[in-house]
Structure 1
């Protein structure tokens, strides 16, 4: 009799706790819309062995080198490279923010095969990166139980473009494994419990539900890319690279290099949209080219990549040297003005003192 008296309250408490966790981890990522589009990452793993070619096809990635760069794999890696069961491959996706939520921009698209159902598509084929309810919602499927072979569905993947405390980050969808804790995941990706909890709306007990994606912010390398550059939205996390400026420049992020984006001229790929790669002389130091380093009164400075336009590759000397000559309106001009102003004030004070003594 005593057992039955306590069993019902215990079950109700457990059920409410489960609902609380479910409400916290929805699998959707917050995205405020500034910027409204960006490149985000998802971490995909298959229960069975597969290949990079199959993953590229499944996620509708145009160029394999995009996947290779995100995983810091050599450019000559074969499309038929084996990917072991449960091995995680990072995949860049174009993210779009709408109504406070980030979602992959109309890709990938999946064609239903015989025997498929939405739960199998979400949990097995796409590794838990989305949910069957979400697929039904965005594709306006009236009855998820009545899907037919040959139907094509947009698979909505979670993503975000939001800054973190004013800093650019690369948002990464990490599918939680059974038994993982918030602390373990935070330590794995170089962040902290509080940040993960706030990003994912988790409060109270940090126990996590398995097979749901968690929004993990990856620190991005700082860069000198200008806001008016055609690749102004470029962000790279540690141990990743990409080709930009119509394949004429290769940029990489390496935490051991002070989290500063490193870009060099590249001949590994043929230029796209350009017949040949334009020269990359450094603005302000014509004897230097992209990637070259020089020493001066304010220490070593590098000819850094600043983006590209329809006709040229943009460069700049980095870091900015406060002691070098600059045009009116620069920091040097302001410093000179302040010094001159101070001298004038001293002379005026001396003149007034002399008049007083006389």
Structure 2
């Protein structure tokens, strides 16, 4: 009975640990911000050799160039490009927020084949990006063990549109590999374990579960896209590009360019939207003879240097532009991804929890 005096402290100290573990096991990403829809990323890998064409079909990606841009691959990469086993390919998905959780839209469906189980679909076909319980819940399947060949199910992939401490980020679903630690994943993506811990609602002391998705925030390049633009918010992470304004504009994010979105007219002769006969002109408003992507050669009294004609979004048949100063931003990091934004107080609490657990173990 002497050990009973440790029972209550043990439960109180261990409670955050077990709550953290259960929070990660759900595979849900919090999505409670004002933005209800956005583009998010998932990291997909197959245990068997495949092709970009197969991946494009599996995730219902309309244009291959969307996958090429997310992975910074050349535009002339063919759909039959081989993807090796365990090679991670980033897939852009449309994310919707509802009831505090983000899930992919209903474009991504899967048709049950012979010998399929929901567990197999979740872990093998979609590489652990979603749990079979989530598929069953979102499709209102009363008994996950009873499914029929030919049935179609929506695959609700985890995603988020939330800002992180008022900073725009691209939320990336990273499937945890066997033996990975929070610190290792943080270092891989240029963030820190405390940021990952709080974002995912787990303790930094928790042992990560393999083959479960972890929400990783990728810093996004700042842009001048207006809130009323049809492509707002246009968020791109480092070393990626995307076509927008009915493929008339190509935008890219490069950390070496001060984390500022760089856009220019694309080489498309005919826009993807049939209502546009040709791409509208991208002349910069308020600057005679200046077009999208051009930079003035002189500075003005109202700016700290030359100004650039930046992309500001588009409407039905209009491309918006704006003159922006090209001032150096001393606050922006020259490398890396996303630094910690959480307070020392939060870090101190996590350290106390880890110390308490260690002391109990030694006792």
What band does the TM-score fall into relative to the shorter chain? 0.7 to 0.9
Counterpart for residue 249 of structure 1? 249
Contact 2:72 2:239 in 1 (8 A): yes
Contact 1:58 1:108 in 2 (8 A): yes
Contact 1:21 1:209 in 2 (8 A): no
Q: How does 1:74-153 map to 2 (within 5 A)?
A: 74-153=74-153
- TM-score, normalised relative to structure 2: 0.82
Counterpart for residue 168 of structure 1? 168
**Poorly superposed stretches of 4+, deviation over 3 Å:** 15-22
Out of 274, 277, 299, the residue aligned to residue 296 of structure 1 is 299
Counterpart for residue 272 of structure 2? 272
Counterpart for residue 55 of structure 1? 55
Secondary structure of the residue that 1:282 maps to in structure 2?
A: coil
Secondary structure of the residue that 2:166 maps to in structure 1?
A: coil
Secondary structure of the residue that 1:67 maps to in structure 2?
A: helix
Gap change, CA 1:193 and 1:285, over 3 Å in 2: same
Gap change, CA 1:204 and 1:83, over 3 Å in 2: closer
Which is further off, 108-117 or 97-106?
97-106
1:39 lines up with 2:39 in the alignment:
yes
Task: Give the C-alpha shift of residue 107 in structure 1.
Answer: 3.1
Task: Give the C-alpha shift of residue 56 in structure 1.
Answer: 0.6
Task: Give the C-alpha shift of residue 183 in structure 1.
Answer: 0.7
Contact 2:305 2:326 in 1 (8 A): no
Q: What do you get for the CA RMSD once the two structures are aligned?
A: 2.1
The count of aligned residue pairs is 311
1:183 lines up with 2:183 in the alignment:
yes
Contact 1:107 1:156 in 2 (8 A): no
Contact 1:247 1:269 in 2 (8 A): no
Equivalents in 2 of 1:235, 1:250: separation in Å?
A: 13
Gap change, CA 1:17 and 1:115, over 3 Å in 2: farther
Gap change, CA 1:260 and 1:114, over 3 Å in 2: same
Contact 2:309 2:324 in 1 (8 A): yes
Task: Give the C-alpha shift of residue 167 in structure 1.
Answer: 1.0
CA offsets 1:178-231 (integer angstroms, 9 cap, x no match): 111111111111111111000101125142110000000000000111112111
1:316 lines up with 2:322 in the alignment:
yes
Counterpart for residue 285 of structure 1? 287
Equivalents in 1 of 2:32, 2:322: separation in Å?
A: 32
Contact 2:103 2:156 in 1 (8 A): yes
Counterpart for residue 354 of structure 1? none
**Structure 1 residues not aligned, in runs of 5+:** 1-8, 322-358
Equivalents in 1 of 2:85, 2:267: separation in Å?
A: 35
Contact 2:94 2:105 in 1 (8 A): yes
Counterpart for residue 192 of structure 2? 192
Equivalents in 1 of 2:219, 2:19: separation in Å?
A: 30
CA offsets 1:286-336 (integer angstroms, 9 cap, x no match): 211111111223312111111112122111111289xxxxxxxxxxxxxxx
Equivalents in 2 of 1:189, 1:269: separation in Å?
A: 37
Equivalents in 1 of 2:272, 2:34: separation in Å?
A: 29
Q: Which one has more relative contact order, counting CA pairs under 8 Å at least 6 apart?
A: 2
Equivalents in 2 of 1:74, 1:279: separation in Å?
A: 26
Gap change, CA 1:229 and 1:256, over 3 Å in 2: same
Task: Give the C-alpha shift of residue 245 in structure 1.
Answer: 1.2
Structure number with bigger Rg: 1
